[in-house]
Amino acid sequence: MIVKTIEAAIADLKKHFGENVSEGASVRELHAHGEGYHEQHPPQAVVFAESTEDVSVAMKICNAHRVPVIAFGGGTSLEGQLNAVKGGISIDLSRMTAVLEVNVGDMDCRVQAGVTRQELNVYLRDVGLFFSVDPGGEATIGGMCATRASGTGAVRYGTIRENVLGLTVVLADGRIMRTGRRVRKSAMGYDLTHLMIGSEGTLGIITEVQLRLHGIPETMAAAVCQFETLKDCVETVVQVMQMGVPIGRMELLDDVQMDACIAYSKLEGYHPLPTMFFEFAGGPASVQEQIETVEAIVQDNRGTAFQWSTRSDERASLWKARHAAYWACLAYRPGYTGISTDAIVPISALTDMILGAKEDIEASGITAPIVGHVGDGNFHTVMLVPPGPEGIEKARALDEKLVGRALSLGGSASGEHGVGLAKIPFMVDEHDSVALDVMRAIKSALDPNIILNPGKMLPPATI
């Protein structure tokens, strides 16, 4: 009966979308997963949408046939958000790449969901503005909203949540909802914009985004310093934040991660030691003040002298090496599976968290470099394990230990990767039963037929 329903839905979709519907095995396989390690689950068909109206029509058809729908953007999610665990239809928004408007005076813009941050910043370059949220990879802005993305710039400019003014969302029944206005704040009604951000396609499909933009800083400088101990490295982070330095970016790499990056990105002049990457931005006087303050903190914590990258090409090369950290890890142990973790704690607990995580990693026997956007308390490990179920189980056990440590310190199981499939068990640890009941009630109200990305985000009501 289910197969017939899906076949009927695909037939109706083909009547409307023609060649923009594909049942090809290779296309379905591409839409069976993100960049995580999870078992692949292909959809029965893929619809390539080119407008909000396309998504609306597709949702009306799928809702009428009670067929599951998974929204697909850049395919870069890490926690199994894209896997079609219940089968159904993947709606691919990657062709929705229009920049709809740019308001230079108000420093905002509106884009379709398939625009990537790189594409947007190239578009904005000549007007002196930029979009600040930088999670790495070719993530689409719609996907970044769906997973509540963060990244290297969050310490200064905030996460995607702080940089979205409004959304266009297609609901489960195909209705089109517009949230927010082109203003920086509003006290009118429920905050539907931020209800949708982080909902991972379980409440609606984001098709357009109104974004805050920022002026390109007059002065930018990047620096690297290294430490003999991980504790000194982390303490530097904590003190920089407690001093209120408006730093642009601040990234930590432990000795193992730095060893991998040196080999992969051909970083010359560095050693496999705990390392900090800094970026300073602002007016010339402001940047100089930031540098002097941070240099003094580094010296107090026995860090080496800054190695500077002031030219734009040098800075780009440095941050390219940071963004390539995951690939550096995979190259560090060829043939191994890389499983990325994601936890976040209050800044005051960061030293205890990272030093404790290092102990957990060493006790596990797994090679797991540590890297993180530590200015907001967020860090990752890439657990490198041999292919096969035994390695996966060891990695899951370590991940549970790291998340448990983060929760005990007042933190969260995810700072930016989201829930998807992998972190559903931690929802029960992080939220009380009343909060979970409210989430289920919202899901039921907006998606009564449970067709939007089913099997994700929420644990069963019996748990």
This prediction's pTM: 0.94
CA distances from 250 to 137, 148, 193, 346, 354 (A): 18, 20, 29, 16, 15
Residue type, 28: R
Whether the CB-CB separation of 44 and 28 falls below 8 Å is answered with yes
Digit-by-digit pLDDT tens for the chain (463 residues) are 456 689 999 999 999 999 999 999 999 999 999 988 888 999 999 999 999 999 999 999 999 999 999 999 999 998 999 999 999 999 999 999 999 999 999 999 999 999 999 999 999 999 999 999 998 778 999 999 999 999 888 999 999 999 999 999 999 999 999 999 998 888 999 999 999 999 999 999 999 999 999 999 999 999 999 999 999 999 999 999 999 999 999 999 999 999 999 999 998 889 999 999 999 999 999 999 999 999 999 999 999 988 887 777 777 878 888 889 999 999 999 999 999 999 999 999 999 999 999 999 999 999 999 998 898 999 999 999 998 889 999 999 999 999 999 999 999 999 999 999 999 999 999 999 999 999 999 999 999 999 999 999 999 876 5
Q: What are phi and psi of 21, to 5 degrees?
A: -115, 130
Q: How many CA atoms lie within 13 A of 317 on its CB side?
A: 14
Strands 219-226 and 307-309: antiparallel
Domains and their CATH numbers in the chain = 99-215 (3.30.465.10), 217-315 (3.30.70.2190), 333-418 (3.30.70.2740)
CB-based burial of residue 257 (10 Å sphere; 0-12 exposed, 13-18 middle, 19+ buried)?
buried
Beta strands in 291-377 (DSSP E): 307-309, 337-340, 343-344, 370-372
Beta strands in 181-306 (DSSP E): 205-212, 214-215, 219-226, 249-253, 275-282
